Amino acid sequence: MRVPGAGNWVGAPSEGPPRSGRPSQLAFKPTHKEFPIMSTWKNTYFFAKGRKFPEFEGKTKDELKSLLGGKGYGLYLMTCELDLNCPVVLNLPTFHANRLENGRIPASLVKEIHEGLREMEKVSGKKFGDPSNPLLVSARSGAKFSMPGMMDTILNIGLNDAIVEKLAVGDAARFWLDSYRRLLQMFGDVVLQIEDEHGEDPFEETLDHFKKEKNAANDLELGPGELRELIARYKAVYDKYGHAFPQDPEEQVVRSAEAVFRSWGNERAVFTRRLEGISDDLGTAVNIQQMVFGNKNPRCGTGVFFTRDKSSGIKHADHLEGTVLFQAQGEDVVAGIRNSLPLEALRDHEDPAFHAIYEEMKSTADRLEKVLKNMQDTEFTIEEINGQPILFWLQIRDGKRSATAESVIAAALHEEGIITKEQAVMMVNPERFEELLFPQIEDKARKAATLITKGSAASPGAAAGHVVFTQDDALELAGRGEPVILVTVMTSQEDVKGMKASRGILTSTGTKVSHAAIMATAWGIPAVVGASEISIDKAKGEFTANGHTIKRGDLITITGTTGEVFLGTVPTTVPKELNPSAQKILDWAGEIKAMDVRANAEAAETQPAYDKGARGIGLFRTEHMFLGDRLPFIQEVLFGKDPAKAEAALQKIFEFSKKDFKHSLEVMDGHGVTIRLLDAPLHEFFPHDTDMHQEENPMLGHRSVRMALTNPEIPRTQIRAVLEAALELKLAGKNPRPEIEIPLVIIPREATELLKVATSVATELHAEKGQWVDYAFGIMVETPAAALQGKAMVEALRARLSGVPAEAHPKYGFASFGTNDLTQTTLAISRDDADRFLPFYVDEKFFERHPFISMHPAVERLVRLFVDEARAVDPHFEIFICGEHGGDPYTIERLHLCGLSGISMSPGKVYRSILKAAQSNVKFPRK
């Protein structure tokens, strides 16, 4: 088994063979970076009511979550700041996860754990190993960033044969036996990692067979005698695989903590971190918390409570959002083993004591949001103590939510006076904003469709695909490009790869707080859960519901917005506009951001880009104008032998270019439209039957500014089309802002020569029309040569040419980074060939990020050098980026820090870019 040790994987002694779902092929190499301010921190923290931690004063939420983990931070708040009824906790901070010694906790930390347990005994009045009044604990993971279900938990630690034999009598027998069999199963699974020859969990198989043998629909139907028999069978599993369950409670604690630390390196946790961009170096904390019991009797229970609806974002006036499961432990709720009840089961309970618990939840929800300024996801347990049900809070954290709910919650919290506009904008994840335009099923299509069944709407959006029943089938079909819907009784953390590969998820059990619902919501995958009318037969590869039999490979459509499941593929539509809350967030972001946000767009894309919030075009690629039936015209100019035909072709180019430019300038009236002159390599225009010489390296060959200088009639025609289109709009009372851009410049003289062409065309147009037209003139910075000559480039763009009227010169100069080519020329990596090795470079941490998605530090250094030199010449010189890096959230923040004037990206990324630009200015305000 791999465990995080000295920077590689080493085996933990007596741990047994590797378990499926444990680390195998994924690279995980902790680098042992020191915790940022580790010298000021302790090795353990004990949280209980009334405890104070002066060392936390002045520390940010981010710093404390880095230290204590997200769960640990919430436990600290509940016990020490909010004074909630929370069981005491011993927190082992995150930095220990990457400091195990061959998978084991070092002796010095073991000693401190024992000291913490003594403190826990003192506060709780219970004692480890005491058969009359035993202290039992749980060991739970808790990294800085929430990854529900991806790491391990062990409950009921501290039980042993002697304690159970003493306490499992009378009415209490079932509770103690049930708690012990759970511990035996979790410890064998998580700590010892026992698996059968097929890589399956033998405890789960034993339980399934046992329930069938006893005709028990669920665990609750097993009585004391049956539970004793089940415990004996579990011990037989231990014997079969050469293990013994430790009877020393404190040994159980230490070994459980070690297992939870090691689970930071399990395959599903590593996989999730790769998906969500979470660093391996952060580690997980371990929280050793006194147990409270929801499985003691029918007047006990456990559940999950959201302060607002995680799908819609609405705070309901008539009910609370969440579920409760009586006579159960927390793992049962998430697993969906039994369908939970809505929280109104507490309000409507026959015992008024539960009504009081419901009201306490309502008031606590309001208090949590006012203090923590976010929607909260809480876990709770109700335990009957001396005949009275008592509410215990086990966890609070910022709740995961759908993209729709993100905007609704952020806008509502601002309007309720809880947060500022800036805080509201910071609450919305830019990378999920496009999910607001997920496909939906319209009423007309819904009425015509065949409804199979209905479940709980768990994660919004509609999806159609082929039915699969296993993770392997999902990965296989999705790998062939087929859309799939994963249909299963319930999902677990072992299914995350199959879930991620699916277009949608359908489960027959579970609720909105089950594993499937939580992960689907986090990943933006439509999901329907708890569709109890469907019966799944994996052996036959089919499910049935309401007279329908659906086989593996059949097409179905689900909508996680309403919970409906339809036969076949149902037509969907994409919403044409944002919901009102999302539009408010976007409007506030527009007010806050410091950088302009433009779009990379040609004529047909200009209006959609404007509708999405782009104000200006950062890159109009003129080479895209020469596709289809327009291609022969540029071929005639470049390769034709007849001057008359070439002249006629240039006239055609002028006419359709002016038409396209005019459309984009008109749509973006008052905003800059950067029109890049012909950029593509010469070979892209070759006739198919040509025998012309092929360049060895066309991307660095006769293209861009070089083609413009050797074929001056082409840039002259394009510039004339730009200026004449702008002039016509000016005469019509519009405010066009054309910006002419020269690609792949490497020396200032190239820009100067084409500036002469531009001023000549402007002068000619004035002579013909009697009007001057304003325009800007700039360069595209795509090579290190250009980036290293910022001063000279700006001086060339600001120059006044001798003998040329002042009005013919551009109104201002500008530069725009083409970071796609700048990355290629800086790193000597071809973007077209990079996928052969770049995934390896990223996985093995040669690169922290994919350099064609997020800006590489070497490229950023060149950007900064150019900006510094350019602004030293002209403090107001406008500098943009138009590569696809401009739509990457990480890069946007870096560009904001570099001082760029604006960013441009594909229209589909405009929403996220506006948001991230605003967030960057909130985080790092420009003076």
Which tokens in the block code for residue 690?
A: 């040509």
Which tokens in the block code for residue 138?
A: 């749980």
Those residues of the chain that have pLDDT short of 50 are: 1-35, 37-38
In the Cβ-directed half-sphere of 434, how many Cα atoms lie within 13 Å?
A: 11
Can you give the pLDDT at residue 7? 28
Q: How far is CA 503 from the centre of its chain?
A: 16
Can you give the pLDDT at residue 442? 81
Which residues make Cβ contacts (< 8 Å) with residue 252, sequence separation at least 6?
157, 158, 187, 246
Contact assessment for residue 157 and residue 168, using Cβ atoms and an 8 Å cutoff: no
Alpha helix segments (H runs only) across 241-351: 249-262, 267-276, 330-335, 344-347
Instruction: Kindly report, residue by residue over 553-580, the tens digit of the pLDDT.
Output: 999 999 988 899 999 999 988 888 899 9
Which tokens in the block code for residue 473?
A: 């089938």
Q: Nearest CA to 863 among 877, 888, 881, 851? A: 881
Can you give the pLDDT at residue 610? 95
Q: How far apart are CA 344 and CA 357, in angstroms?
A: 11
Contact assessment for residue 123 and residue 30, using Cβ atoms and an 8 Å cutoff: no
Contact assessment for residue 409 and residue 433, using Cβ atoms and an 8 Å cutoff: no
Q: Nearest CA to 503 among 446, 445, 572? A: 572
Contact assessment for residue 791 and residue 830, using Cβ atoms and an 8 Å cutoff: no
Q: How far apart are CA 140 and CA 290, in angstroms?
A: 11
Can you give the pLDDT at residue 690? 58
Q: How far apart are CA 685 and CA 678, in angstroms?
A: 11
Q: How far is CA 215 from the centre of its chain?
A: 43
Backbone angles phi and psi of 247, in degrees to 5:
-90, -10
Instruction: Kindly report, residue by residue over 63-83, the tens digit of the pLDDT.
Output: 999 999 999 999 999 999 999
Catalytic residues, which ones? 515, 882
CA geometry: angle 130, 134, 139, nearest 5 deg: 125
Q: How far is CA 77 from CA 48, 74, 372, in A?
A: 10, 5, 10
Can you give the pLDDT at residue 683? 62
Can you give the pLDDT at residue 20? 34
DSSP secondary structure string for all residues of 691-750: -PPPPSSGGGSS-HHHHHHHSTHHHHHHHHHHHHHHHHHHHTT---EEEEEETT--SHHH
Q: How far is CA 704 from CA 61, 174, 833, 841, in A?
A: 50, 79, 22, 31
Q: How far apart are CA 286 and CA 191, in angstroms?
A: 14
Fill in the DSSP letter of residue 925.
-
Can you give the pLDDT at residue 301? 94
Q: How far apart are CA 244 and CA 238, in angstroms?
A: 6
How big is the chain by its Cα radius of gyration, in Å?
A: 32
Q: Which DSSP helix (H) or strand (E) runs through 464?
A: strand 462-468
Can you give the pLDDT at residue 473? 94
Q: How far is CA 158 from CA 105, 180, 620, 756, in A?
A: 19, 9, 68, 84
Structural domains present in the chain: 1-159+249-291 (3.30.1490.20), 161-247 (1.20.80.30), 293-397 (3.30.470.20), 439-567 (3.50.30.10), 596-689+698-923 (3.20.20.60)
Contact assessment for residue 775 and residue 762, using Cβ atoms and an 8 Å cutoff: yes
Q: Nearest CA to 98 among 229, 193, 7, 177? A: 7
Contact assessment for residue 105 and residue 259, using Cβ atoms and an 8 Å cutoff: no
